């Protein structure tokens, strides 16, 4: 219930993109937009997600950028704009990671 309220506020008040806006999981399967993923597409996306997550590039793009955003936004910020920019960067990185994880954790 709490997550539903948070998602409602994010979607309707703050107007951010949620993982559920990109990929939706129902009892009948995963949907990318309005298109249901076939088993072949799902397996392909799962293997791509695992491959991406295991690369050094993913670590650089995700963890290193997140760390730098933290340093510049929380530790070194001098204005609310700096903090908000860092939070936005962190949110986008978390959004990407949650989409990757949704594919990895989905069982056929």
pLDDT in tens, 40-91: 999 999 999 999 999 999 999 888 888 888 888 888 888 888 888 888 888 8
> What is the reported pLDDT for 18?
82
**Shortest CA distance to 42 belongs to which of 57, 61, 63, 28?**
28
List the single range of 12-16, 19-23, 67-71 with lowest mean pLDDT.
Answer: 12-16
> Residue 58 CA to chain centroid, in angstroms?
13
pLDDT digits (tens, 9 = 90+) for 26-53: 888 889 988 999 999 999 999 999 999 9
The span from the CA of 72 to the CA of 24, in Å, is: 34
Higher pLDDT, 9 or 20: 20
Distance of CA 78 to the CA centre of its chain: 28
Ramachandran quadrant class, 107 (left: phi over 0; alpha: psi -120 to 50; beta: rest): beta
């Amino acid at each position: 219930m709490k997550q539903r309220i948070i998602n409602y506020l994010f979607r309707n008040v703050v107007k951010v993109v949620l993982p559920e806006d990109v990929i939706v999981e129902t009892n009948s399967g995963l949907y990318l937009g309005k298109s249901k993923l076939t088993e072949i597409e799902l397996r392909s996306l799962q293997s791509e997600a695992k491959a991406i997550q295991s690369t050094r590039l993913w670590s650089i793009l995700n963890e290193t950028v997140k760390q730098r955003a933290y340093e510049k936004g929380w530790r070194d910020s001098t204005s609310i704009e700096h903090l908000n920019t860092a939070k936005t960067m962190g949110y986008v990185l978390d959004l990407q990671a949650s989409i990757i994880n949704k594919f990895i954790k989905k069982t056929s």
